[in-house]
């Protein structure tokens, strides 16, 4: 592990420090930085590896069902994502999706749903996915049109979901659909849909700049027993937002991992590359760049672990998590771009570490709430906290 001084911060307990150090040693030994072209096989293998080594136990809540604790420890998942992202983007993705995909079950599932799926998610024997977005409902989740109509003791799902990570390799999908006549965010419900349910098909596999399993799903008269609804009817929006609330801060942590790796690579290159009878690091222009990169990372890390710490204390972190996600992802993009620049031509060679980071970071500024959405959340919370003016 490169610079670990941040682990001394008061946000952490000794168990967090031990977790980060042990995971870094494990990842150094077991995680390949580059995977082959078959991203599905690579992702399946990573889920199994992470499960067998016990790391996925942090991604689920409930000790009776394979979790390391009853309530997901935000600082633990942040440190895990940060360390994994520093090693390999796909390893971070595999860990994060097990958590996000099963989060609604950890938080709102029945005992039967938990015992059927959570233990398998935690051991790496079942792959999870979270299906919220639709072609016409991304940032505007409430515009969702995928419908679930009650028919006896089943719901019948019709519609589409898109941008679904793990789509195509998942063993089950947590699907959000409209069950009621209520408009907007009211009238949505969540369902646990095993991948082999008749009527659920993979309509399209989507290739993105940082390859990982991603798909558009189609539901065509897909029958799901009422017992597979997660939480109460009409609670779908709350369930989706509560799940995202747990994992939003961890997106910031993943961005931090990418940024720290970029700074490490940049520092190494700047001190080794000779030009004009000195090293690249001897130039003050380079030093200014390195200073900005390091300061941005620390600022983002402080916001990230403040949000994680507050959440673990049971405090509301809507504003703090949004600040962390926005700052860490935007900062990481700038830091990584700076590292690419330090490497010159080498920085844009396919599969060079900084070229990979350049591709890995981009989607983090879009998913789980684009930067603009985080800005709106922060401003809304600020304005809401103002005292009501006297009449």
**Residue 185 CA neighbour count, 13 Å, CB half:** 10
Residue 54 or 138: the one with the smaller Cβ distance to ligand FAD is: 138
Q: Is 379 in the site for ligand FAD (CB under 6 A)?
A: no
Q: Which residue is nearest to ligand FAD (CB)?
A: 138
Nearest to ligand FAD of 88, 280 (CB atom): 88
The minimum distance between CB 332 and ligand FAD, in angstroms, equals: 15
C-alpha span between 386 and 391 (Å, rounded): 15
In this chain, which of 164, 322, 324, 340 binds ligand FAD, going by CB under 6 A? 164
Under rule CB under 6 A, which residues in 82-121 are in contact with ligand FAD? none
- Among 34, 41, 208, 226, which residue interacts with ligand FAD (rule: CB under 6 A)? 208
Quote the CA–CA distance of 140 and 144 in Å, as a whole number. 8
Q: Write out the binding residues for ligand FAD, residues 313-372 only, by CB under 6 A.
A: 363, 366-368, 370, 372
Residue choice 95, 130, 155, 305 for contact with ligand FAD (CB under 6 A): 130
Cα separation values, 318 from 277, 302, 325, 384, Å: 51, 16, 11, 12
Q: How far apart are CA 150 and CA 178, in angstroms?
A: 11
How near is the Cβ of 73 to ligand FAD at its closest, in Å? 22
- 368 as an active site residue: the answer is yes
Candidate segments 79-87, 159-167, 312-320, 380-388, binder of ligand FAD by CB under 6 A: 159-167
State yes or no: residue 133 binds ligand FAD (CB under 6 A): yes
Give the CA angle between residues 197, 198, 199 to the nearest 5°: 110
Q: Phi/psi of residue 158, each to 5°?
A: -135, 130
Q: Which of 24, 144, 164 is nearest to 91 (CA)?
A: 24
Q: How many angstroms separate the CA atoms of 162 and 249, rounded?
A: 23
List residues bridging with 178 in a β-sheet.
147, 188
Residues with catalytic roles: 368
Interface residue list for ligand FAD (CB under 6 A) = 130-133, 138-139, 163-165, 208, 214, 363, 366-368, 370, 372-373, 376
């Amino acid at each position: 592990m490169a610079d670990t001084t941040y682990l001394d911060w008061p946000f952490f307990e000794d168990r967090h420090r031990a977790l980060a150090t042990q995971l870094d040693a494990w990842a150094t030994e077991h995680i390949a930085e580059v995977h082959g072209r078959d991203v599905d096989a690579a992702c399946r293998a990573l889920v199994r590896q992470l499960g067998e080594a016990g790391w996925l136990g942090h991604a689920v809540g409930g000790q009776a069902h394979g979790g390391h604790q009853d309530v997901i420890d935000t600082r633990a998942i942040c440190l895990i994502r940060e360390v994994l992202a520093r090693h390999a983007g796909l390893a971070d993705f595999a860990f994060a999706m097990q958590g996000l995909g099963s989060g609604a079950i950890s938080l709102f599932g029945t005992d039967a749903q938990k015992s059927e799926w959570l233990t398998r998610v935690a051991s790496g024997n079942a792959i999870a996915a979270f299906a919220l977005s639709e072609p016409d409902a991304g940032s505007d989740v409430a515009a969702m049109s995928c419908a679930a109509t009650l028919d006896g003791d089943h719901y019948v799902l019709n519609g589409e979901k898109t941008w679904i990570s793990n789509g195509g390799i998942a063993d089950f999908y947590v699907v959000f659909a409209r069950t009621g006549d209520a408009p907007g965010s009211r009238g949505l419900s969540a369902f646990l849909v095993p991948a082999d349910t008749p009527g659920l098909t993979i309509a399209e596999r989507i290739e993105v700049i940082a390859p990982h399993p991603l798909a558009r799903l189609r539901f065509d008269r897909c029958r799901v027993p009422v017992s597979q609804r997660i939480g109460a009817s009409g609670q779908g929006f709350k369930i989706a937002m509560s799940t995202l609330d747990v994992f939003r801060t961890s997106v910031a942590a993943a961005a931090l991992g990418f940024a720290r790796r970029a700074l490490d690579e940049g520092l190494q290159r700047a001190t080794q590359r000779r030009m004009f009878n000195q090293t690249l690091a001897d130039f003050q222009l380079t030093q200014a760049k390195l200073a900005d990169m390091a300061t941005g990372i620390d600022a983002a890390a402080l916001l990230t672990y403040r949000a994680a710490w507050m959440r673990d204390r049971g405090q509301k972190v809507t504003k703090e998590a949004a600040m962390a996600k926005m700052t860490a992802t935007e900062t990481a993009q700038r830091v990584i771009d700076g590292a690419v620049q330090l490497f010159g031509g080498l920085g844009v060679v396919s599969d060079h570490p900084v070229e990979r980071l350049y591709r890995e970071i981009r989607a983090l500024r879009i998913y789980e709430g684009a930067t603009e959405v985080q800005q709106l959340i922060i401003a809304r919370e600020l304005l809401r906290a103002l005292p009501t003016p006297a009449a």
